[in-house]
Amino acid sequence: WKGFPYFYRHTEYGYMSRPGLGDPFILQSCKADFVPHSSDVNITSFPKAGTTWMQEIAYLVDHMDLEYDESPLDVRCPFLEVRLHPLPAGLDILPTLSYPRHLKWHSALDLLPSGILENSKVIHIARNPKDLCVSYYHFARMNKHFGFVGSFNDFFDCFIKGEVPFGPFWENILSFWRQRDHPNLLFITYEELQDNLERSISKVGEFLGRELTVDQIADIASRVTFDAMSTNPLVNHSHWDKLGLRVSTEATFFRKGKVGDWMEHFSEEQNEIMNRWIEVKSADTGLKFQYTL
Ligand code: A3P
């Protein structure tokens, strides 16, 4: 395994794809082509932080009084930065979206279209880097476009070096963390959601200016449990199978959905390496993660 040479560090952004894997996986800059709207809800994250979970929560919160749109989450809340044939490309479906638009992004804040924070709302979902690394490893093995065939240790090395798509991890997460007090940004964690789903839903509601009743919160909570989402074909990415995007059958998109799964994967040495890395990278930032509940 030689790493992910073609699609990480999007400092120049542009078009990147990994050759030899059939239809290209293209990451596209939206900076020039996207104009934020004041009612936009942007879900941002480093991959595997719980993006899908937050996309569905925010969508349900924002559409509580409307009929549930029976289209897949990819369509209701598209990922504009990717062109992943044969799925519709984000920017192409932009004109078909109704307002408030819900949009998903994985890049660092400075790589997103300018004005996104000033002119619209941003929900950033973050996850502790140990569980995130494990989840990303399984995802990279499962997804055809990543074509990852290495061991967990190989992936761990790439992750620490920042050489994974949308890496480096710290540049990405800190770009949002630094703006955590901005009135248009909600910084929330995967672990908070796991710890108290109802409270987290209510927080999202307050942020989006939606007053939710206790019953509405309970209703949303029941629709976004791991079991409910993993069996809901509109959100569980099972259509990827039909499109041939899942190469490894050992994992599904909804894998474990736990806090602390890293303990099943990390060697003592890896844990020490990551602890040191976290200490150095998060020094003086005030950012702390939860690694168990
Ligand atoms: P695991 O691989 O640890 O199971 P993303 O959407 O950013 O790609 O994140 C995917 C991760 O979030 C996966 O983690 C997935 O199982 C988890 N996840 C998605 N929906 C969830 C839910 N409703 N409850 C708990 N975890 C969820």
Residue-wise pLDDT tens digits, 15-43: 444 445 455 556 666 777 789 999 999 99
Which tens digits make up the pLDDT trace of 49-61? 999 999 999 999 9
Exactly one of 106, 124, 145, 265 is catalytic; name it: 106
Find the mean pLDDT for residues 238-253. Answer: 71
Look up 106 and say whether it is catalytic. Answer: yes
ipTM of the complex: 0.99
Q: 78-87, 110-119, 163-172, 213-222 — which one is most confidently predicted on average?
A: 213-222
pLDDT of residue 141: 86
| 3-state SS track over 91-105 | HHHHHHCCCCCEEEE
pLDDT class of 7 with cuts at 50, 70, 90: low
The alpha helices in the chain, defined as continuous H runs, are 51-62, 73-76, 90-93, 116-119, 129-142, 152-161, 169-177, 190-195, 197-207, 214-223, 226-230, 239-242, 268-282
pLDDT reading at 14 higher than 60: no
Mutate which of 226, 262, 265 for ligand 1 pocket (most atoms within 8 A of beta carbon): 226
CA–CA gap between residue 40 and residue 238 (Å, rounded)? 27
pLDDT of residue 16: 46
The more confident residue out of 68 and 288 is 288
Q: Which residues, including other chains, have CB under 8 Å from residue 206's CB and lie 6 or more apart?
A: none
CA–CA gap between residue 238 and residue 243 (Å, rounded)? 9
CA–CA gap between residue 280 and residue 286 (Å, rounded)? 12
Residue 29 Cβ contacting ligand 1 at under 6 Å: no
**Closest C-alpha residue for ligand 1 atom 25:** 257
CA–CA gap between residue 256 and residue 119 (Å, rounded)? 36
Superfamily assignment of 25-282 in CATH?
P-loop containing nucleotide triphosphate hydrolases (3.40.50.300)
State residue 82 phi and psi, 5-degree precision. Answer: -125, 145
First to last CA, the chain: 34
pLDDT reading at 12 higher than 80: no
Which tens digits make up the pLDDT trace of 72-128? 898 899 888 877 666 666 677 788 888 999 999 998 898 888 899 999 999 999 999
Residue boundaries of the structural domains of the chain: 25-282
Count of CB atoms within 10 A of residue 281's CB? 18
The CA-based dihedral angle spanning residues 200, 51, 107, 9, taken in that order and rounded to the nearest 10 degrees: 130
CA–CA gap between residue 104 and residue 112 (Å, rounded)? 11
Whole-number percent of the chain with pLDDT over 70: 84
Residue 70 identity: E
Say if residues 229 and 238 touch (Cβ distance below 8 Å): no
Residue 261 Cβ contacting ligand 1 at under 6 Å: yes
Say if residues 117 and 179 touch (Cβ distance below 8 Å): yes
Residue 255 Cβ contacting ligand 1 at under 6 Å: yes
CA of 88 to the centre of ligand 1 (A): 23
CA of 230 to the centre of ligand 1 (A): 9
Residue 278 Cβ contacting ligand 1 at under 6 Å: no
Say if residues 100 and 46 touch (Cβ distance below 8 Å): no
**Closest C-alpha residue for ligand 1 atom 8:** 48
Rg (CA), the chain: 18
* Residue keyed to tokens 């950012």: 287
Residue 229 Cβ contacting ligand 1 at under 6 Å: yes
Helices 268-282 + 152-161 axis angle, to 10:
10
Find the mean pLDDT for residues 141-153. Answer: 83
